Amino acid sequence: MIFLIDQDQVLAHFELGLYNSVVKNYGISKSIHPDNRKGFYASKQYRNQVGLDIDHLLIEKGFLYNLDDIDGAIDGIKKLANKHEVFICTSPMTEHPSCLQEKYDWIKDKIGKEFCKKLITTKDKTIVYGDYLIDDKVDIKGIGEKRWQHLLFESPVNINDAPHMEKVTWKEIVEKFC
């Protein structure tokens, strides 16, 4: 089987990194704890709920590289790769000048250099072939037909957006496929 694994909020703890950055720059009262984030786009919730424009924080040098890993992600992807073909399939943040380098370096330093050879960056995941896509985004659209089954990775940002969709964790992925 071929697995396509999203990077942000499936491997790398994007929400915790954002929370910590907002706390550092604006204080705790202006931040939204990762467990209370709603909807996929953080910028929209921050603007609407606390009146902050946080876009500049997301493109700061080092933001993506310094993200912590999601619990169970490093061990989980390695176990999955021992049994199946695994590719990291991530969307670049086009406004972030060092996005691709930081994502690459994060993979190399957190998971291992061998996974850098299996890195796919694209804004359109529908054109990538695989059996499964593990992603925290609910609605993945593009120009192609989805040639994979979407396994929605459990995240606070998608709890309310997709009550009808079954969500998976790294523990469940490892138990089911390894």
- Digit-coded pLDDT (tens) for 130-145: 999 999 999 999 999 9
Overall domain count for the chain: 2
Q: Please determine, for residue 5, whether its predicted confidence score (pLDDT) is greater than 90.
A: yes
Structural domain containing residue 148: 2-13+69-177
Q: Please determine, for residue 161, whether its predicted confidence score (pLDDT) is greater than 80.
A: no
75 catalytic? Reply is: no
Q: Which of 6, 55, 71, 135 is catalytic?
A: 6
8 catalytic? Reply is: yes
Read off the pLDDT band of 170 (50, 70, 90).
very high
**Is residue 80 domain-shared with residue 166, that is, in the same domain?**
yes
Q: Which of 8, 35, 71, 109 is catalytic?
A: 8
Is the distance from CB of 68 to CB of 12 less than 8 angstroms?
Answer: yes
**Is residue 164 domain-shared with residue 80, that is, in the same domain?**
yes
We report the CATH number of the domain holding residue 127 as 3.40.50.1000
- Digit-coded pLDDT (tens) for 34-74: 999 888 889 999 999 999 999 999 999 999 999 999 999 99
pLDDT of residue 162: 77
**Is residue 139 domain-shared with residue 124, that is, in the same domain?**
yes
The verdict on residue 63 lying in a domain is no
Q: Which two tokens stand for residue 33?
A: 């704890």
pTM: 0.95
Q: Which two tokens stand for residue 105?
A: 């370096």
Q: Using CA of residue 122, residue 97, residue 70, residue 47, what is the dihedral sign?
A: negative
